Structure 1
Amino acid sequence: MQRILITEHIRTRADFFNALGRTRGCEDCGPRNLDDLADFLREQHTTVIVASHMELAEEDLQGVATVLKDQGVKLVR
């Protein structure tokens, strides 16, 4: 079980993906699309993502939320 804490301002799906990559200690190893997001979550054994300053547009959030739900990951905003 792993929890991920993101404290930076998230305005786009790319911001979210890049922030996840930075939790691994690098700038360019985060997911690049929703399929990559699912793989990332499985590989990291992620169960909860806390994003304290997330302002994604509804259409971007829907895709992310669907992947999170499918992977059993809770998003706390």
Structure 2
Amino acid sequence: MRRILITEHIRTRADFFNALGRTRGCEDCGPRNLDDLADFLREQRTSVIVASNMDIEGEDLAAVASVLEDQGVALVR
């Protein structure tokens, strides 16, 4: 299982998706929606995401957290 470290400032769901893409070494290969997020996590065999500067709130956070939980991925903020 793989851990992902994100140190950039994350304010929105799109910021989170784009940051995940950059962990793969490109600007435009991250998830585009929640279904893509689930696929990305499975493909990358992700077990933990450490997001040191994450300010997502409300519905965006709830939606992302739900997908992470469903995929068995821990989010450390």
Q: Deviations over 1:27-77 (max 9, x none)?
A: 000000000000000000000000000000211000000000000000000
Give, in whole Å, the separation in 2 of the partners of 1:46 and 1:17.
Answer: 14
Aligned residues: 77
1:1-77 alignment to 2 at 5 Å?
Answer: 1-77=1-77
Identity of aligned residues (%): 83
Q: State the TM-score, normalized to the length of structure 1.
A: 0.99
Aligned-residue Cα RMSD (Å) equals: 0.3
Query: Unaligned stretches of 5+ in structure 2?
Result: none
Q: 4+ runs of 1 displaced by more than 4 Å?
A: none
Name structure 1 gaps, 5 residues minimum: none
1:20 deviates by 0.0
Letter in 2 for 1:45: R
Q: TM-score, normalised by structure 2?
A: 0.99
Distance in 2 separating the partners of 1:22 and 1:63: 21
